[in-house]
Structure 1
Amino acid sequence: MTLIQRTRARAVETLTLDSAHNRNALSAALVGDLADALTRAAEDGEVRAIVLTHTGNTFSAGADLRDPPPPDAMAGLLRQIVELPKPVVARVTGHVRAGGLGLLGACDIAAASGAASFAFTEVRIGVAPAVISLPLLPRTDPRALARYYLTGERFDAAEAARIGLLTAAGDDVDEVLAPVLDGLRRSAPQALAETKRLLTAKVLEAFDQDKGELGRLSARLFASADAREGMSAFLERRDPTWAV
C-alpha cells in the first residue's frame, strides 16, 4: 500500500503525502514511496509539473523517530527533487517540522496558507538539521536560519516567505498557486528543464561538496546519548533532562 496519492489535472501531477497515522512523518517507507512517485512523474511525457501536498493538518512532522530513513535515503530524495527535470511545487496548508522543511527547501516553488506553521525542532531532541541543510542553506536567509535552527522556535507562513523558505503565502493557497500553475502549463517542457538547471546549479554544488560530511554528522547525532534522551522525551511527552 503506497503512502502517496497521485492525481493529475491539465498536465500537473499532484503527489499527496498520505501517512495519517504519524502526521506524514518521513519514515523509510514514505521516503521510498515518494521517490518512486517522483521517478514515475519525471518519466511521464504528459506531466509538465508536480505539486507536492498532504492530507490532514500536517504537511510533515519531520523524521519518523520510530522508523527514520537512512541519511543517504533522505539526501537522495532531496537531491532527486532538486535534479528533477520538471518543476516541483509545494502546496502547504498545515504544520511543517524539521525534516519536512527540507522538502520545502528542495522544491522549486513553495506556497502556504495562513494555517501553516514551521519549526526546526531538531535541537530540541538532541540532533541537528544536517542533511536538510543541503537545499536550505543556499536558498534561505542565513541570519534567520541561525535563529530558527538554534532555538527551535515556531514561525508563521508570512515569516517563512520573508526568509525565503516559501515563495509566497496567503489565506487561500490555491489562489496563490493558480497563476504559478498556469504559467508552468504555458511553458515549453525543454525550456522548463533547462531553466531549472540554471536555478539549481548552486544547490547541487552544495550536495556534491557537503553531502558526505552532513550525512555522517546526522548519523552520529542520531546515535548519541542526547538523541536517545531527546527522542524518548518527545515520545513520552515530557521535557528532556537538559531543559531548564
Structure 2
Amino acid sequence: MADELVHYDVVGGTATITLDSPHNRNALSAQLRRELGASLEKARDDDAVRVVLLTHTGPVFCAGMDLKEARGAGAGDQGVNEFPKILDQLWTSPKPVVACLAGPARAGGIGMVAACDIAVAATEATFAFSEVRIGVVPAVISLTVLPRLNPRAAHELFLTGEVFDARRAVEIGLLNAAVPAEELDAKAASYLKSLTLGGPKALAATKTLLSRPRPATPGDGFAAMNELSAGFFASAEGQEGILAFAQKRKPDWVPAGE
C-alpha cells in the first residue's frame, strides 16, 4: 500500500489538512488529488470542524500538476479533469479555509491558494503561473485566481509566466499576508482563532454572500439581503449571539479557552 500523501487531523475545531509528498514538491498526483478531495469532504461533513487549515510538509507548498503522470496521457486521462472538484470544494466549503505556505506555489498550487478564504505565506515563498511556458493554459485555475487578482497583474503574470514574490502576491490580492518564516504559524493561528469566533451558520452564509453575483444596483438587492439579515437575527444562532453580547460572555459556539 502506498504511503499516505495527505494527512487529516482535528484539534479544537480546526481540521488541519497537510500535503505530504515532498519527493515531488507536493505535486498534484492522482493519489494526492484523491486523498485531498476525501479530506476536504471529511472536513465539510464533520460537525466538530469549525475551520480548515491547508498546509504542507517540505520546502514547497505545491508545484502544480504532476507532469510525470501527465506526460503521454490523452486529454481524457489528464488530472485537470479531476482538479476542478478540489477547487470547488475549497471555494464552496461552508467552513472557512486558511492556506498556510512556507514555500513556493506554482500553477495548480496557486489555484488552490486562491480558492481558500484566507492565505498567508512566508516572505520567502514565490509564485508563478508557469503554464504558458510548457505550452498549456491556466484555464481551470483562472476560475479561482482571476476573482482575486488585480486585472493588470493577471494579464502580466498569466502571459509571461514570470516568478513573483510573496510581497507582490499580497499587493495583487493573491495573499492576505506575507510574514517572516518564524512568524508564519502564529499568523495562521491568529486567523484561525478569529474565524472560530463567528457563528458557524453565519460564516457559511457569509461565504455564500461573498461569492454571489452583485446586483446591478444596491436597490436591486435590498429585498433579498433584508430577508437574509432578518432571518439570521431571528435564528437560534443569532439570538444566542445577541444574548451573549448582552451578558458579556462568549457565545456557545466559541471553543473553550478562546
Bin of the TM-score, shorter chain as denominator length:
0.7 to 0.9
In the alignment, which of 109, 119, 123 is matched to residue 118 of structure 2?
A: 109
Q: What's 2:105 paired with?
A: 96
Residue in structure 2 matching 1:123, options 128, 132, 139 = 132
Question: 1:55-90 CA distances to partner (integer Å, 9 max, x unpaired)?
Answer: 100000111012245323111110111111111110
Aligned position for 2:254 = none
Aligned counterpart in structure 2 of residue 5 of structure 1, from 1, 4, 7: 7
Describe the SS at the equivalent of 1:57: coil
Q: Would you say 1:173 and 2:184 are equivalent positions?
A: yes
Measured after TM superposition, the shift of residue 152 of structure 1 is 1.1
Q: Which residue of 2 aligns with 1:52?
A: 54
Contact 2:102/2:125 (<8 A) preserved: yes
Match of 1:142 in 2: 151
Deviation per residue, 1:106-152 (Å, 9 max, x gap): 10110001121111111111111110001111121111011111111
- For 1:105, what is the secondary structure of its paired residue? helix
The number of residue pairs the alignment matches comes to: 203
Q: Secondary structure at the match of 2:68?
A: coil
The residue type equivalent to 1:17 in the other structure is L
Map Cα deviations across residues 173-231 of structure 1 (whole Å, 9 max, x no partner): 2232233111112111111111111112249xxxxxxxxxxxxxxxxxxxxxxxxxxxx
| Match runs of 1:28-47 below 5 Å | 28-47=30-49
What is the alpha-carbon distance in structure 1 between the residues aligned to residue 138 and residue 166 of structure 2?
Answer: 20
Tell me how far apart the structure 1 counterparts of residues 124 and 145 of structure 2 sit (CA, whole Å): 22
SS in 1 for 2:164: strand
The one of the two structures with greater contact order (alpha-carbon pairs below 8 A, sep at least 6) is 1
**Are the aligned partners of 1:3 and 1:19 in contact in 2 as well (CA < 8 Å)?**
yes
Q: Distance in 2 between matches of 1:179 and 1:60?
A: 23
SS where residue 8 of structure 1 aligns? strand
Taking structure 1 as reference, are residues 161 and 196 closer, same or farther at Cα in structure 2, changes over 3 Å only? Answer: same
In 2: Cα distance, 1:173 partner to 1:198 partner:
29
What are structure 2's unaligned runs of at least 5 residues? 71-77, 215-258
- Paired residues of 1:138 and 1:202 also in contact (CA < 8 A): no
Q: Describe the SS at the equivalent of 2:210.
A: helix
Q: Distance in 2 between matches of 1:70 and 1:60?
A: 15
- Note the C-alpha offset of 1:8: 2.5
Query: What residue is the counterpart of 1:210 in the other structure?
Result: none
What is the DSSP-based 3-state SS (H/G/I as helix, E as strand, rest coil) of the residue aligned with 1:2? Answer: coil
- Distance (whole Å) between structure 1 residues aligned to residue 194 and residue 170 of structure 2: 20
Asked if residue 18 in structure 1 is aligned to residue 27 in structure 2, the reply is no
CA contact (8 A) 2:22 2:59 kept: no
Among 210, 214, 229, the alignment partner of 1:199 is: 210
